[in-house]
């Protein structure tokens, strides 16, 4: 294990949800819980067995740590391990604090040209990497990303990086769609009160064809329906956004057109990839951060996120450091 002095911690929608509702599905907050799971910091102390890190190293933290080497770990899909520790998922504490202890193998050294803030953004970026891999994005793919929040945006960034020829994004908010354009979306569609089938046909008309890949980042029933209708026969729909437990969808439409529907749960094996991309400047995640608050103003930061202002709100846990 290593002890870290925390630096930058991003606020996620799930953090806000736990704060407001005290539960997400089967994960129920029963005792006081520290929030935060998108984080970077500086190593202060290392345990006796730790060789790859030393005090002073700047690191990004992967929040999901398997507690045992089960079959999922053996096959490299440790994110599916049923006993996994995960920051800020009850009953596990997160890392929105001054000092934090974490498994050394899940702390990744940041190169000098990658900022703490970029290090904290690796967590949401990882969701995009994992989703686009599961979707099979490749050279020339036409991709529809449903939803332009932080997760929709990282999927746009990663899809373009992986060779997508065209990415179209839908959202209700014009300002969020503007951000999608900024990070590389080719087309945007502002949804008002169209039916799911109408949204699907708009996607087809701007792309000039039906996308072979849809990445659904809202969890809203109508958006999932639109995702099925929009995806080309033989294509893939990846469900990233989580909404209600039961959702009514045109499953027969998907079945008879051989549209594969895949889920994702967080990510695995993404931190080294993300660090390599950030260090080589192949991707730019800096535009995602729109607000910064010191730890003392955490409540204000959470309220800003709750109101849906900006994109990613970042908390600064180290009062001595003025650098992003």
Spatial CA neighbour of 320 closest among 98, 20, 167: 98
Residue 320: per-residue pLDDT = 74
Could you tell me what percent of the chain has a pLDDT over 90?
Answer: 97
Angle CA(28)–CA(6)–CA(161) in degrees, nearest 5?
A: 85
Is 2-109+285-316's fold the same as 128-263's? no
Between 25 and 321, whose confidence is greater? 25
Distance CA 8, CA 113 (A): 16
Residue 318: per-residue pLDDT = 84
Is the pLDDT at 47 greater than 50? The verdict is yes
Is the pLDDT at 323 greater than 60? The verdict is no
Residues 147-175: tens digit of each pLDDT: 999 999 999 999 999 999 999 999 999 99
Distance CA 282, CA 158 (A): 10
* CATH number, span 128-263: 3.40.50.720
Is the pLDDT at 322 greater than 90? The verdict is no
Distance CA 67, CA 78 (A): 10
Residues 257-291: tens digit of each pLDDT: 999 999 999 999 999 999 999 999 999 999 999 99
Q: If pLDDT is split at 50, 70 and 90, which confidence band does 324 have?
A: very low
- Share the mean pLDDT of the chain: 96
**Helices marked H in the chain:** 13-21, 71-74, 116-135, 150-161, 174-182, 196-207, 221-230, 251-256, 271-279, 298-306
Is the pLDDT at 28 greater than 50? The verdict is yes
Cα distances from 277 to residues 34, 273, 274, 299, 318, in angstroms, run 30, 6, 5, 33, 26
CB 179 within 8 A of CB 285: no
Tell me the mean pLDDT in the region 96-106.
97
Cα distances from 123 to residues 11, 32, 106, 192, in angstroms, run 11, 23, 12, 31
Distance CA 197, CA 163 (A): 27
Q: Under CATH, which architecture does the 2-109+285-316 domain have?
A: Alpha-Beta Complex (3.90)
Task: Parse the chain into domains and list their residue ranges.
Answer: 2-109+285-316, 128-263
Taking each helix axis from N to C end, the angle separating 298-306 and 13-21, rounded to the nearest 10 degrees, works out to 100
């Amino acid at each position: 294990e290593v002890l870290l002095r925390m630096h930058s911690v991003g606020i996620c929608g799930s953090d806000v949800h736990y704060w407001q509702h005290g539960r997400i599905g089967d994960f129920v907050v029963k005792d006081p819980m520290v929030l935060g799971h998108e984080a970077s910091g500086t190593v202060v102390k290392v345990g006796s067995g730790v060789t790859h890190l030393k005090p002073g190293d700047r690191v990004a933290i992967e929040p999901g740590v398997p507690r045992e080497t089960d079959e999922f770990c053996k096959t490299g899909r440790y994110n599916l391990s049923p006993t996994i520790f995960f920051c800020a998922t009850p009953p596990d504490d997160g890392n929105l604090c001054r000092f934090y202890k974490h498994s050394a193998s899940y702390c990744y050294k940041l190169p000098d040209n990658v900022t703490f803030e970029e290090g904290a953004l690796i967590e949401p970026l990882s969701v995009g990497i994992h989703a686009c891999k599961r979707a099979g994005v490749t050279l020339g793919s036409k991709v529809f990303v449903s939803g332009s929040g932080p997760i929709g945006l990282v999927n746009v960034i990663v899809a373009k990086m992986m060779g997508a020829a065209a990415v179209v994004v839908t959202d209700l908010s014009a300002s969020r769609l503007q951000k999608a354009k900024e990070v590389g979306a080719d087309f945007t569609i502002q949804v008002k009160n169209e039916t799911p089938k109408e949204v699907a046909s708009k996607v087809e008309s701007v792309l000039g064809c039906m996308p072979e890949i849809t990445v659904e980042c809202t969890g809203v029933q109508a958006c999932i329906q639109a995702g099925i209708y929009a995806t080309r026969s033989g294509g893939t729909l990846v469900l990233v956004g989580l909404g209600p437990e039961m959702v009514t969808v045109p499953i027969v439409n998907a079945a008879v057109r051989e549209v594969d529907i895949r889920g994702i749960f967080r990510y695995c094996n993404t931190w080294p990839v993300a660090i390599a991309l950030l260090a080589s400047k192949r991707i730019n995640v800096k535009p995602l951060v729109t607000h910064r608050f010191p730890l003392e103003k955490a409540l204000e930061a959470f309220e800003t996120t709750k109101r849906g202002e900006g994109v990613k709100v970042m908390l600064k846990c180290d009062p001595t450091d003025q650098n992003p």
